[in-house]
Amino acid sequence: MTISYVGAGAVSESTGAATPAYPAGLAANDILILGICGDPDGAADGQGDFGGTVITTRTSGGILGQGCRITLYWKRAVGTESGTITTDDAGDATIANITAWRGCLVGATPIDQVASGGSASQNTSVTLPAITPSEENTMVICWHTAGDNWAAENPIWSRLASVTQPFDHLSAVGFHYEYTLVYGIKASTTDTLTGNLTQQTSEDEANITINLLNAEVIAPPPQIIFIGA
């Protein structure tokens, strides 16, 4: 079964706590991932009432007003989630949204590999964190954040069948962070994935790459056939 992108709730931004919405059309066992972008000099990017498990966090390392931080949390949907959650206040600004992914491993964590990277210097050329998934037909996802609201363009991943950028949010609050997502399916298990994108202007950046494992396919038990008496 191929993992698919179900959708994303609207990005919420605030100078206090954010209130991102659940994506529409959820089903049981969809994987929900909450991404929060905030001020690296402010409070931790707390998940509030999301009720998930932290994946990782990454800070660009830039100074106040230039740096950024991205934190990810995940949980398994029951299929009836709706409305919004309320995150903690992440500092000068809090930008957050929830994405949903279908067809992932059931019965264990679907998250295979996690890598993060970033830069405290200001760049237009961004190298996305590289990972080597342990299984084939895995969903590779990268969250990219930057210290100001300039668009990210031309995301490229090696060895992915296609690359999709479903949103690129340019914040209008606080330090005006940028928050974007790119994803694609990787068929081979033997290659390390590398990726890059271009920012319209030089900014600090923080990025997290993960991959999600496919749902397990359980073969039926062998049939035992008796011949004769």
Q: Lowest mean pLDDT of 65-74, 83-92, 146-155, 204-213, name the range.
A: 146-155
Rounded alpha-carbon distances, angstroms, from residue 171 to 150, 176, 220: 9, 5, 51
For residue range 22-79, list pLDDT tens digits in order.
Answer: 999 999 999 999 999 987 766 678 899 999 999 999 988 655 556 788 999 999 999 9
**Considering the domain boundaries, does residue 220 fall inside one?**
no
In a domain, 218, yes or no: no
- Would you say 94 and 44 are in contact if contact means Cβ atoms under 8 Å apart? no
Asked if residue 122 is part of any domain, the answer here is yes
Name the domain count of the chain: 1
Domain that holds residue 122: 4-212
Token pair recorded at residue 99 = 């994405």
The answer as to whether 176 is a domain residue is: yes
- Identify whether 147 is part of a domain: yes
Which pLDDT value is given to residue 5?
96
**Does any domain span residue 34?**
yes
Residue at 17 is within a domain: yes
Predicted model pTM:
0.86
With respect to residue 228, please indicate whether it lies within any of the assigned structural domains: no
Give me the percent of the chain exceeding a pLDDT of 90.
41
Distance CA 145, CA 150 (A): 10
Q: Per residue in 163-198, pLDDT tens?
A: 888 988 888 787 678 888 989 888 666 677 777 776
- Is the model's pLDDT at 200 over the cut of 70? no
